[in-house]
């Protein structure tokens, strides 16, 4: 990243965008406090319900943050800002990196606030476990950050809201963010191919031992990342070759 | 790699063509611009000015032909920060103040100008702390101008920079541009206004329907498109007599009426005085400047048959 001032202003812009906070933090937080707060003593999927739900809401909120950040490219394209940037020395890769880092900043904020809420409700983890959970979430977000950039090149501004809202909610739902949809059988085998499943599992995996992410988690995340990056690169090239 | 020192070669566009489906937007444009030159691209709507500029900046890939900016490709020149521009359309990035936006753009270039200085030059100091999305059209245009200026590039490309500006805005703009040109920078701008091109450019290129129809110093171009015509009903007079009136370039007879063509407004004034003096019986007199479009069509000799647009009524 050559242009740090540019990055700084991108982060500032992200922080100033209130809508971001609503979807990536406010909604998950309210849901977490009401639902997990009401079932403190339940256990789910072999772990305490507040921990499961913490992981689920953090996955949903942070996923929304990184996807929305990349998807904002659609808006910048529609007003001609990307064309203006293309005649400056800013490299396209740096433009994308700034979008990804902005998304991660918001994701981090949402995860930290949810974790605080979790510890208030009664989630007890060691420092190592907290950091492991955070680390797994950040890694699990990689494919979503790339998908956000892809969405930013494919979707028009008018349909951006529904696509992001619907897409992330569906991913979160299937991944079990609102509660596991299945604990076995074909359905579980299928959703294990979704990156969101492993994102939701970050809480449980942080407990360590036999709960750690299996090789499948890493492979699924890597494949989703690589494939979306390939598609995004192709769409980007097609997009700049065509005249806007 | 281009550096600001290696300005040799200037800007060379060779035989550029670009079509959008059926529309041939640019059909064989060749321009060679010396470093330090100020060039106006003048032409009516749809002439191909923006398409030419977009190809010059590497935003649009030509169907054929090449662009060289100071000896390198547009992409390399842009990457090196020797090119800056203001596109015809585009709004500002939100969630920033005017000052923040200009600072952000400045930070992308190797040798930017001082931000406060540029805000002052463009008359945006008073609105510097305002959000970029809460500006009037003219204020937005001034900020776009600030973004182009702050880069302090060797080649500054401006597509209709003064559209949406009021009189004061235009004056401020050209004052700022004169300072840029005085520092030896190359400036290319597109415009619809002959007066603007004349007042500011060293050289004017006239474009119509994707082609260059004239290329020369402003005086020469003005003589070709700044023409005025005097139309008067004057039965029984010989056109050779009329064509010898002072200020008249040529006289054409149209039934009982005559059309006298004069090179500019000064000569049409002279001609009109002489006409009234010698032919007080002249009636139904009309003086008008030939519109740019008309002048272009004259120059191209285009009868509309091979044109992309419907023939004019
Ligand atoms: N993206 C596009 N798709 C299709 N046709 C286009 C596109 N861009 C330009 N054209 C066509 O190409 C021709 C030249 O357009 P261009 O924008 O270069 O003209 P211009 O000289 O800049 O006009 P103006 O003074 O109106 O800005 C026009 O006929 C226009 O309709
Ligand atoms: Mg144009």
Q: Whose CA is nearest to atom 24 of ligand 1?
A: B45
Q: Which B residues, 127 through 146, put their C-beta within 8 Å of a C-beta on chain A?
A: none
- Please say if the pLDDT value at position A63 is more than 90: yes
Average pLDDT over residues A163-175: 94
Please answer yes or no on whether B104 and A88 come within 8 Å at the CB atom: no
Q: Which of B144, B227, B193 is nearest to B44 (CA)?
A: B193
B84 touches chain A (CB under 8 A): yes
Ligand 1 within 6 A of CB of B23 = yes
Ligand 1 within 6 A of CB of B89 = no
Q: Name the residue of B50, B54, B197 whose CB sits within 8 Å of the most ligand 1 atoms, as the mutation to test its pocket.
A: B50
Q: What is the pTM (predicted TM-score) of this model?
A: 0.85
Predicted confidence at residue B264, as pLDDT, reads 79
Name which of A14, A76, A87 is nearest B85 (Cβ-Cβ).
A87
Scanning chain A, the segments in alpha helix (DSSP H) are 4-16, 18-21, 27-31, 37-38, 49-78, 81-86, 92-121, 127-140, 142-154, 157-175, 185-191, 195-200, 202-205, 215-241
In angstroms, the CA B298 to CA B209 distance is 13
CA-based nearest residue in chain B for residue A92? B79
Q: Name the residue of B19, B23, B85 whose CB sits within 8 Å of the most ligand 1 atoms, as the mutation to test its pocket.
A: B23
Q: Which of A168, A155, A22, A164 is nearest to A76 (CA)?
A: A155
Closest approach atom of ligand 1 to CA A244: 1
> Are B194 and B226 within 8 A, CB to CB?
yes
CA-based nearest residue in chain B for residue A85? B105
Closest approach atom of ligand 1 to CA B54: 18
Predicted confidence at residue B47, as pLDDT, reads 92
CATH topology of domain B6-82+153-222: Rossmann fold (3.40.50)
Predicted confidence at residue B306, as pLDDT, reads 41
Neighbours of B68 (CB within 10 A): 17
A6 touches chain B (CB under 8 A): yes
- Please say if the pLDDT value at position B289 is more than 80: no
B194 exposed, middle or buried (CB, 10 Å; 0-12, 13-18, 19+)?
Answer: buried
DSSP state for residue B247 in the 8-state scheme: T
> Are B216 and B274 within 8 A, CB to CB?
no
Mutation site for A-interface testing, chosen from B21, B54, B90 by largest number of A Cβ within 10 Å: B90
CA-based nearest residue in chain B for residue A91? B79
Q: CA B125, B128, B134 angle in degrees (round to 5)?
A: 125
In angstroms, the CA A1 to CA B261 distance is 62
Average pLDDT over residues A207-224: 91
Task: Concatenate the DSSP letters of all residues of B65-121 into one string.
Answer: EEEEETTB-HHHHHHTT-EEEE-SS----SSSBHHHHHHHHHTTSSSPPPHHHHHHH
Q: Which of A13, A176, A174, A1 is nearest to A91 (CA)?
A: A1
**A14-23, A115-124, A188-197, B219-228: least confident range:** B219-228
Confidence of residue B297 (pLDDT cuts 50, 70, 90): low
Average pLDDT over residues A98-105: 95
Calculate how close chain B gets to A115, using CA atoms only, in Å: 29
Q: Sort out which chain A residues have CB atoms less than 8 A from B94's CB and list them.
A: 13
Q: Sort out which chain A residues have CB atoms less than 8 A from B89's CB and list them.
A: 80
Residue position matching structure tokens 């992308």: B108
Candidates 1.10.3720.10, 3.40.50.2000, 3.30.70.980, 3.40.30.10; correct CATH number of B226-289? Answer: 3.30.70.980
**Beta-bridge mates of residue B156:** B84, B187
Predicted confidence at residue B310, as pLDDT, reads 40
pLDDT in tens, B211-246: 998 899 988 887 777 778 889 999 888 888 888 899
Mean model confidence pLDDT for chain B: 87
DSSP state for residue B310 in the 8-state scheme: P
Q: Whose CA is nearest to atom 4 of ligand 1?
A: B20
In angstroms, the CA B36 to CA A61 distance is 54
Ligand 1 within 6 A of CB of B25 = yes
Proximal ligand: closest to the CA of B42: 1
Confidence of residue B249 (pLDDT cuts 50, 70, 90): confident
Average pLDDT over residues B145-166: 92
pLDDT in tens, B2-51: 444 444 579 999 999 999 999 999 999 999 999 999 999 998 889 999 99
Residue position matching structure tokens 């009982």: B256
B199 touches chain A (CB under 8 A): no
Q: Sort out which chain B residues have CB atoms less than 8 A from A84's CB and list them.
A: 87, 90, 147
Calculate how close chain B gets to A239, using CA atoms only, in Å: 11
Predicted confidence at residue B308, as pLDDT, reads 44
A88 touches chain B (CB under 8 A): yes
A76 touches chain B (CB under 8 A): yes
For chain B, where do the domains classified as CATH 3.30.70.980 start and end?
A: 226-289
Please answer yes or no on whether B78 and A86 come within 8 Å at the CB atom: yes
In angstroms, the CA A216 to CA A213 distance is 8
Confidence of residue A179 (pLDDT cuts 50, 70, 90): confident
B259 touches chain A (CB under 8 A): no
A152: tokens are 């930013």
Average pLDDT over residues B242-251: 88
Sequence-distant (6+) residues with CB within 8 A of A228 are: A143, A146, A147, A150
pLDDT in tens, A72-96: 999 999 988 999 999 999 999 999 9
In angstroms, the CA B116 to CA B126 distance is 11
Calculate how close chain A gets to B236, using CA atoms only, in Å: 58
Mean model confidence pLDDT for chain A: 91
pLDDT in tens, A104-133: 999 999 999 999 999 999 899 999 999 999
Please answer yes or no on whether A80 and B91 come within 8 Å at the CB atom: yes
Name which of B81, B89, B103 is nearest A89 (Cβ-Cβ).
B81
> Are B246 and B261 within 8 A, CB to CB?
no
Helix/strand/coil (H, E, C) string of B169-228? HHHHHHHHHHHHHHCCCEEEEEECCHHHHHHHCCEEEEEECCEEEEEECHHHHHHHHCCE
Name which of B57, B78, B100 is nearest A89 (Cβ-Cβ).
B78
Q: Name the residue of B13, B25, B55 whose CB sits within 8 Å of the most ligand 1 atoms, as the mutation to test its pocket.
A: B25
ipTM: 0.89
Predicted confidence at residue B262, as pLDDT, reads 85
Confidence of residue B66 (pLDDT cuts 50, 70, 90): very high
Neighbours of A8 (CB within 10 A): 15
């Amino acid at each position: 990243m050559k242009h740090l001032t540019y990055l700084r202003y991108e982060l500032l812009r992200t922080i100033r965008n209130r809508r971001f906070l609503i979807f990536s933090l406010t909604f998950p937080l309210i849901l977490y406090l009401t639902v997990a707060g009401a079932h403190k003593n339940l256990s789910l999927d072999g772990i305490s319900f507040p921990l499961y739900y913490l992981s689920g809401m953090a996955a949903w909120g942070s996923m929304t943050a990184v996807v929305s950040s990349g998807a904002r490219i659609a808006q910048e394209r529609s007003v001609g800002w990307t064309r203006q940037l293309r005649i400056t020395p800013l490299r396209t890769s740096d433009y994308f990196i700034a979008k990804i880092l902005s998304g991660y900043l918001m994701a981090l904020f949402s995860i930290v606030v949810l974790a605080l809420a979790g510890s208030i409700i009664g989630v007890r983890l060691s420092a190592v476990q907290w950091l492991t959970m955070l680390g797994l979430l950040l890694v699990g977000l990689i494919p979503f950050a790339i998908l956000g950039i892809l969405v930013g090149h494919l979707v028009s501004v008018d349909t951006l809201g529904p696509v992001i809202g619907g897409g992330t909610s569906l991913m979160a739902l299937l991944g079990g963010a609102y509660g596991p949809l299945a604990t076995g059988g074909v359905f579980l085998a299928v959703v294990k191919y979704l990156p969101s499943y492993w994102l939701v599992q970050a809480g449980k995996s942080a407990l360590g031992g036999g709960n750690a992410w299996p090789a499948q988690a890493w492979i699924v995340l890597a494949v989703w990342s690589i494939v979306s990056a390939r598609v995004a690169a192709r769409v980007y090239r097609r997009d700049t070759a065509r005249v806007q | 790699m281009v550096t600001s020192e290696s300005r040799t070669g200037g800007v060379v566009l060779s035989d550029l063509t670009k079509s959008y489906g059926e529309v041939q937007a640019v059909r064989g444009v060749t321009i060679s611009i010396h470093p330090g030159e100020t060039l106006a691209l003048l032409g009516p709507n749809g002439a191909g000015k923006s398409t030419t500029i977009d190809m010059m900046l590497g935003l649009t890939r030509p169907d054929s032909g090449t662009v060289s900016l100071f000896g390198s490709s547009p992409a390399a020149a842009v990457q090196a920060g020797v090119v800056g521009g203001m596109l015809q359309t585009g709004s500002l990035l939100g969630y920033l103040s005017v000052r923040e936006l200009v600072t952000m753009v400045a930070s992308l270039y190797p040798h930017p100008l001082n931000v406060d200085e540029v805000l002052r030059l463009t008359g945006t100091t008073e609105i510097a702390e305002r959000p970029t999305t809460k500006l009037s059209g003219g204020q937005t245009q001034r900020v776009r101008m600030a973004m182009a200026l702050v880069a302090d590039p060797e080649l500054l490309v401006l597509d209709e920079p003064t559209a949406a500006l009021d009189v004061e805005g235009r004056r401020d703009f050209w004052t700022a541009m004169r300072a840029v040109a005085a520092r030896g920078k190359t400036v290319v701008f597109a415009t619809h206004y002959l007066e603007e091109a004349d007042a500011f450019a060293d050289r004017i290129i006239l474009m119509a329907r994707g082609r260059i129809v004239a290329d020369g110093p402003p005086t020469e171009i003005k003589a070709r498109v700044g023409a005025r015509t005097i139309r008067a009903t004057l039965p029984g007079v010989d056109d050779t007599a009329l064509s010898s009136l002072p200020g008249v370039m040529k006289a054409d007879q149209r039934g009982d009426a005559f059309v006298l063509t004069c090179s500019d407004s000064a000569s049409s004034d002279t001609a009109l005085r002489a006409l009234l003096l010698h032919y007080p019986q002249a009636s139904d007199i009309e003086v008008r400047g030939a519109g740019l479009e008309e002048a272009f069509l004259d120059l191209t000799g285009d009868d509309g048959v091979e044109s992309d647009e419907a023939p004019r009524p």
